[in-house]
A and B are shown apart, each in its own frame.
Chain A
């Protein structure tokens, strides 16, 4: 559900480390379900952009409740992704994306107690100015 709202139009940008390397890009997404959930039930993420497909091992998931690689998040049962909250996905791909508009496709599966809730969305997004990680930024956000 909420398919057309899953990919946020803002917050799509390359991420540059303190040492000047572009380590990947970020995007913001909403939840495809009618309530917030413990982070551990965010089961599967798939992002397709510029001819490449990225899945859980390449994705860091960040909400107010915490920031985790998807593989770490499988055990995070006591922090939540809220219903009204956008999550930031950081997709690790050295060099990031070219500075053109991109068709971005998202698939997401949430493990509810009575089955999987799927969501999918695709949108053409405009790359915003780079996000520069400064020395003080913690947690790899």
Chain B
């Protein structure tokens, strides 16, 4: 049985939290939808890191399973998002999130 060397899980969680917050900031502040998607990836990765960290901390493999599922879902979501962007581009619509406001009430 191997002990965890190096920093305790709490350090990894701190990094994960920071990644999550950074990703959130990017989602909320950027106008290019591609960058928004990338920031979204950052957030997901932050969550993944937290899961893996806890998995190691508790000795439970379920965290790693969860992280793999998250990865699969992230991939799917990127596929759909990029498909949307490509479709938008084909319609000659400006790729600016602020201009896509037909839902305005």
Query: Bound pair: A and B?
Result: no
> CB within 8 Å of A: which residues of B?
none
